Amino acid sequence: MSTTVTASKTFAEFGLSEPTLHSLEEMGYEQPTTVQQEAIPLASAGKDLVVQSRTGTGKTAAFGIPVVEKIDASDAVVQAMVLTPTRELAVQVCEELAKIGSGRGLRVQSIYGGDSIGKQIDGIKAGAQIIVGTPGRVLDLLRRGELKLDRTYSLVLDEADKMLDMGFAQEMSEIMAFVPKQRQTCLFSATVPLGIRGLIHNYLNDPTWISLSEDFAYVREVRHTYIIAPTAHKEQVLYKVIELDQPTSSMIFCNTRNEVRSVSAYLARQGLPVAMISSDLTQAKREQVMGGFRSGKIRHLVATDVAARGIDIDDLSHVFIYSTPDSPEDYIHRAGRTGRSGREGDVVSLVAATDLVSFNRLSNRYELKMIEREIPSDEEIIKRRDERLVAQLLAEANQLPPEALAGFDAFVSSLSGHPDASRIISYLVHRRLAETPKDESEGSDQDNVEGEDRAPRKTASKRRRRPRRPREN
């Protein structure tokens, strides 16, 4: 059944403990989001929930606050567990729950593959009260007898659509055998496909449905566009769009790991600051890549759907969908990476002729307004590059003394339309930059940060070379 509750304007209206309220204040939480207003009172009352709310709306706190409030801080046993489909999401949720529960002195332990199992076992034995983990490692520790859930009465499935699909169905079924039948179970996801709705009733008891994204699972501020691109030329087309749009940061979604490696390597060869996230990478390498992405050293991240779950970047300007996803729900999860917290964003799909039927189906499923774009021409890219170079040159010139600027504006204006404008401006910009002392404190290990497919760094002149135009079919 669906329900609506009276909106609460402050977290204090939920009747939370003072330590939890203090933790939320320290975290900068001022007013509950819609999903928090709807879910927290029901979850606090012990209801089983299915919560459908789009990405970036505050779902973690919506289940995390009730979970933290129910923990007996004096009892050093596992009392709640959150399951996630990826390591990154497990780490992210663990960190947030630890912050929410810090005022009450709660212990939260993350459990996932790729990290030291001995360290995780030590954390459990030290009295972890909340476990956040991925199904594979959780099941491994349950089988070993190192993790016991006989006193776990709160279970949350985050990104529930992935947790209950065929990829995790067997593991989930085995894990449920270790959890008490008398428990509270809550499912949170941006989408709830018809294919998993039957499974929901196997795990939940008369659940309350909160559907906040059923009619607008996509972000309204996001612009959805697509380009018809031959499969053989998609990499070149993607590079052209990136050169034209110049995203501040982007995620590029592929359907397979082979595509991820190929696209990442191609963009790296063009001199772009790109990295990939893949299950092939060690956890330490994944964390290094994500650190570079969040800091801005890496501007473009290539990933599959599963690898990207849990990656939360507030100011992501672009999402590029390199290959059409298998389901409309996957498109929504990809698109939901941008346009967070009311910001604008762009989702650009590269669609091969053979994928048009699938692409039309997903756009119709959520009544998305799709706008077709043309493949950027070489002339457009050169013009946009000139504009950026002029802006950079002007910014550099502003640092010069006034006497050095005599006639400068007229000189720059005279370059307009000059056949060698790009070369002249590029030369001036890079000469000016070369004369500017560099901050020796900056790291020089960029190549190590940007993923295993990172090609050797190219010179600025090669990075600025004119892109080749894809051959026509």
* Contact present, 135 and 171 (Cβ < 8 Å): yes
CA nearest to 449, candidates 285, 235, 310, 295: 285
Equal fold, 11-211 vs 222-376: yes
The token pair that represents 162 in the structure block: 């992935």
CATH class of 11-211: alpha beta
Q: What is the rounded CA–CA span in Å between residue 81 and residue 135? A: 11
Burial degree of 400 (CB within 10 A; 0-12, 13-18, 19+): exposed
pLDDT, position 385: 78
Q: What is the rounded CA–CA span in Å between residue 89 and residue 332? A: 17
Question: Coil, strand, or helix at residue 45?
Answer: coil
Residues 6+ apart with CB under 8 A from 429: 389, 392, 393, 396
Helical (H) or strand (E) element with 170 = helix 169-176
Spans of all domains in the chain: 11-211, 222-376, 380-447+455-463
pLDDT tens column, 367-426 = 788 899 999 998 888 888 777 777 766 666 666 566 555 555 566 656 656 666 656 666
Q: For the beta carbon of residue 313, count every other beta carbon within 10 angstroms.
A: 17
DSSP string covering 118-176: HHHHHHHHTT-SEEEE-HHHHHHHHHHTS---TT--EEEEETHHHHTSTTTHHHHHHHH
Q: Which fold would CATH assign to domain 222-376?
A: Rossmann fold (3.40.50)
Q: For the beta carbon of residue 324, count every other beta carbon within 10 angstroms.
A: 22
* Contact present, 255 and 323 (Cβ < 8 Å): yes
pTM of the complete model: 0.65
Q: pLDDT per position in the chain (473 positions), as tens?
A: 444 444 567 999 999 999 999 999 999 998 999 999 999 999 999 999 999 887 777 899 999 999 999 999 999 999 999 999 888 889 989 999 999 999 999 999 999 988 899 999 999 999 999 999 999 999 999 999 999 999 999 999 998 888 887 578 889 889 999 999 999 999 998 778 777 777 788 889 999 999 876 544 455 568 899 999 999 999 999 999 999 999 999 999 999 989 999 999 999 999 999 999 877 777 788 888 888 998 889 999 999 877 666 676 767 899 999 999 888 878 888 887 887 656 778 999 999 998 998 898 888 877 788 899 999 998 888 888 777 777 766 666 666 566 555 555 566 656 656 666 656 666 665 555 555 544 443 433 333 333 333 333 444 444 444 444 444 43
Q: What is the rounded CA–CA span in Å between residue 23 and residue 17? A: 10
CA nearest to 311, candidates 255, 378, 252: 252
pLDDT, position 426: 61
**Residue type (1 letter), 76:** A
